[in-house]
Structure 1
Amino acid sequence: MAELQTLEINIVAALKEFVDTGRPSSKIISDLSSVIKITSELPLGNLKYWERFIRDEYDNALASGYSNKWKFWESNTPRVTLLDLCSWDGFRREKALRAIGEKVPNRFFLALVIRRLNDWVPQVRQAAQDILSTVLVNSEPSYVADAIFFTLSHWSSWKRIDDANRNTLLNTLSNREITNHLKMKLLYSSSGPLVLVMSEIGRTCFLDSSLEVIAVKAIQPSLRAKAYRSLFEGKSSWFAGREWEWTDRRYGEGRRKALVATRILTIKIQRLPTLLLAANDRSSLVRRVAAEMLIKELDNLSDNESLSLAKKFSNDPSIAVAERGNFALKKLAGGTLF
C-alpha cells in the first residue's frame, strides 16, 4: 500500500512539473522525462488503473494551470503528447498515436499503444494498427517482451482486436531476444497467469524448443504441468473462443461451449526419460499428468518400466496420483477396472 501511494505521489508531481514547464510564462522547455522515468516503474498488471489515474491527474493539472483568458488569440489547448494515449478524447488519442514516430520510451507507453488496438473508436484502432509494426521493431526488446506478456494474458477479453493484429504481435516473437526474455519470465515468475500466456505463445512455434526446459525448471507448478502435457501430447492448445451449443431445442435451452484450437509441436521427445522426470517432480500437479500419460503409454513401454512407475504412483501421497497408479496396476494385471 505504501509503495502504491509513493508511486501516485511521484506521478502527480511529475505531471505537475510537466504542465508547469509547458505554460507560456515558463522559460524552461517542457519535456516528458520525469513522467517517462516514473511510468517506467509502474507494474503493467495494473495498467487499467494507472491509465485512469494518469488521465485524471493530468486533467487536474491542466485545469489548475495557467490560462490565456486575456490573450484570446493564444490557444489554451495543450499540445498532444504521449500522455494523450490516456485521454478521454478519441481525437487526441489518435493524434498521440500518429505523433509517436518509430519507438516508445518505456514499456508502459508501449502497452498503452497495444491497448489502443481494442479502442472503442475505429479511427484510434486504425492509427494503432498503422504504427504497430514499426514501434514493435524499433522499441527496446525488453519493453516489447513485457508489453506482449501483459497483452497475451488479457487479449482473450478484447472484442475489437482483429486476427491480423494478433498475428503481428505474435510474429514479433521471431526476435530471439524477445523470446528469451519471455522465456525467463515464464521460468522465474512464481505467480500470475503464466499458463495462459504460454498457451497463447503456443499459437506459434517460437517457444517449442524451450518447452523441455520450462517443464523441468519453471517455478510455477501449473506451468510445469502444462509444459509436460504439451510435450507428451505433441501439441499445444489454446482457448479459441466460444460457440453456442443447444442442450434442449424444445425448451430453447443451451450454453456457450469453449472452443480449443491446437497445433502440432515442431519437436519430439524421448518419452520414457521425460516420463521419469515428470514422475519425480516435486509437485503433485505434474506427477498427476505423468500418471495419466503412463496409462496412455502402457502399451508402448516394457512391462518392467510400466510396473515400476505404476507402483511408484500408487504409493504417492497425493490421492489423485495414487488413484491413477492403482488404475495402471489393475490394467497391467488384466483385472477389472470398474
Structure 2
Amino acid sequence: MQQLKMMEEKVILAVKDFANSINSGSKVVADMSALVDVTSQLSLSSFDYWERFIRTEFSSALRESTPPKWKLWSKPKELTTWLDLISWDGYKREKALRALSGGAPNTFFFSLAVRRLNDWVPQVREAAREKLPEIAKLTDPKCVVEALCITLSNWNSWGRIKEEDKQILLQIICEKDIAESLRRKLISSASGPMPSLFSQLGRTPILDENLEEIARLAIQPSVRAKAYRSLFEGRIVWMEGRKWEWTDIRYCEGRVRPIVGERKLDIKIPILDFLELSSTDRSSIVRRVSAEILIRELGKIEAVIAKELANKFASDKSHPVSERGKFAKRKLEEMASVNDS
C-alpha cells in the first residue's frame, strides 16, 4: 500500500509538470520526459487503474495550471498530446489518434493506443484501426511486444472489440521483428500469461516452425505442455470468448460456455520420438499430456514400446500421470487378451 501511494505521488507530480508545460507558452512541444520516465515504471497488470488515475489527474491538472498572462488575450495553437488518447472527450481521442506522428515513447503509451480498439466510441475504434500499424512500425519493438503480451491475454474480456480490430493486432504480430521477439519471450519468460499468449498467437502461423523448440526449451511448463499437445494433435486451439447459455430458463439457471477456436497445423512429427521426449520432461504437466497421447495412440504403437512407456507413466511420482499410465497398462492387457482369443 505504501509503495502504491509513493508511485501515485510520482505520477501526480509528472502529470502536473506535463500540464504546466502545455500552458507554458512553448511554441514547439510539451515536455513529457518526466511522464515517460514514471509511466515506464508502472505495472501493466494494473493498467486499468493507472489509465483511470492519470485521466483524472491530467484533467484536474489542466484546470489548475495557470497559463502565462499573454495567453489571456492571445490564442496559441492547441497542442495534441499522447494523453489526449484517454481524454473524457471522444472527439479529442479520435483527433489524437489521427494527429499523433512517430512511435509511442514507451510500452504504457503504446498500450493506450492499443486500448482504443475497445473504445466506446465507434469513430475512435476506426481511427485506431487506421493508425495502429503505423504507430507500431515506428515504436521500439520491445515496447510493442510487452503491450501485445498483456493485450492478447486479456482481449477476450473486451466487450467492444470487433473481429476487424483483432485482425489489426494480428497483422502487427506477423511483422518479422515483432514475431521473433514474441517467440523469444514465450521461451524465456519464467512468469506472466505466456500459456494464454501462446494460444492466442496460434491464430497466426508465426509459431509453426518453432513449436518443437518451444516444447523443448520454454521455461514455463504450461507453455511446453501446450506446444507438445499442439504437435501431437496437429492443431492449435484458443479461447475466442464466453457466451451465456440457459440450462433451465424456467428457473433462470444458466452457465457461461467457453467459445473455442482452432487452426489446423500442416506439421508431421515422429510421434514415438516426441512421446519419448515428453515422457522425460521435468514437469508432470507435460508428462500428463504425454500419457494422454500414449492412450490415444496405443493401437498405432508397437506393443513392446507401448508397454515400456505405460510402465514408466504408471510408476510416475505424479498421481495424474500414474493414473493414466495404469489405465494404458489395462488397455494394453485388454488388447492382448482380444488378440490371443
Cα distance, 1:24–1:226 mapped onto 2, change above 3 Å: closer
Partners of 1:124 and 1:28 lie apart in 2 by 26
User: 2:23 touches 2:68 (CA, 8 Å); kept in 1?
Assistant: no
Partners of 1:240 and 1:22 lie apart in 2 by 42
Q: Residue 174 of structure 1 aligns to which amino acid in structure 2?
A: C
* Structure 2 gap segments, 5+ residues each: none
**Map of 1:314 onto structure 2:** 314
Deviations 1:116-148 (A, max 9, x none): 111111222122122122222232222221221
Q: Residue 234 of structure 1 aligns to which amino acid in structure 2?
A: G
- The percent of aligned pairs where both chains have the same amino acid is 47
**Map of 2:48 onto structure 1:** 48
Q: Residue 56 of structure 1 aligns to which amino acid in structure 2?
A: T
User: 2:174 touches 2:204 (CA, 8 Å); kept in 1?
Assistant: no
User: 1:314 touches 1:326 (CA, 8 Å); kept in 2?
Assistant: yes
Partners of 1:256 and 1:59 lie apart in 2 by 38
How far did 1:6 drift? 4.4
How far did 1:17 drift? 2.1
**Map of 1:110 onto structure 2:** 110
**Map of 1:134 onto structure 2:** 134
Cα distance, 1:103–1:299 mapped onto 2, change above 3 Å: same
Cα distance, 1:271–1:9 mapped onto 2, change above 3 Å: same
Partners of 1:50 and 1:332 lie apart in 2 by 57
User: 2:245 touches 2:256 (CA, 8 Å); kept in 1?
Assistant: yes
Q: 3-state SS of the aligned residue for 2:240?
A: strand
* Structure 1 gap segments, 5+ residues each: none
How far did 1:314 drift? 0.6
How far did 1:237 drift? 0.5
Partners of 1:245 and 1:14 lie apart in 2 by 47
User: 2:24 touches 2:67 (CA, 8 Å); kept in 1?
Assistant: no
Cα distance, 1:182–1:318 mapped onto 2, change above 3 Å: same
User: 1:68 touches 1:76 (CA, 8 Å); kept in 2?
Assistant: no
Give the alignment's TM-score, normalised by structure 1. Answer: 0.89
**Map of 1:187 onto structure 2:** 187
**Map of 1:125 onto structure 2:** 125
User: 1:20 touches 1:65 (CA, 8 Å); kept in 2?
Assistant: yes
Partners of 2:283 and 2:330 lie apart in 1 by 25
**Map of 1:83 onto structure 2:** 83
**Map of 2:226 onto structure 1:** 226
Cα distance, 1:256–1:11 mapped onto 2, change above 3 Å: closer
Q: 3-state SS of the aligned residue for 1:263?
A: strand
Matched, 1:276 2:279: no
Cα distance, 1:100–1:57 mapped onto 2, change above 3 Å: same
Size of the aligned set, in residue pairs, is: 337
Cα distance, 1:306–1:71 mapped onto 2, change above 3 Å: closer
Q: Indicate the larger mover: 239-248 or 30-39.
A: 239-248
Greater percentage in helix: 2
Partners of 2:95 and 2:28 lie apart in 1 by 25
Aligned CA-pair RMSD: 2.8
User: 2:90 touches 2:124 (CA, 8 Å); kept in 1?
Assistant: yes
Cα distance, 1:3–1:181 mapped onto 2, change above 3 Å: farther
**Map of 2:163 onto structure 1:** 163
Q: Residue 46 of structure 2 aligns to which amino acid in structure 1?
A: N
Partners of 1:126 and 1:149 lie apart in 2 by 22
Q: Residue 287 of structure 1 aligns to which amino acid in structure 2?
A: R
**Map of 1:331 onto structure 2:** 331
User: 1:205 touches 1:266 (CA, 8 Å); kept in 2?
Assistant: no
Cα distance, 1:262–1:291 mapped onto 2, change above 3 Å: same
How far did 1:335 drift? 7.2
**Map of 1:258 onto structure 2:** 258
**Map of 1:203 onto structure 2:** 203
How far did 1:254 drift? 4.8
Partners of 1:78 and 1:103 lie apart in 2 by 21
Partners of 2:76 and 2:67 lie apart in 1 by 6
Cα distance, 1:27–1:265 mapped onto 2, change above 3 Å: closer
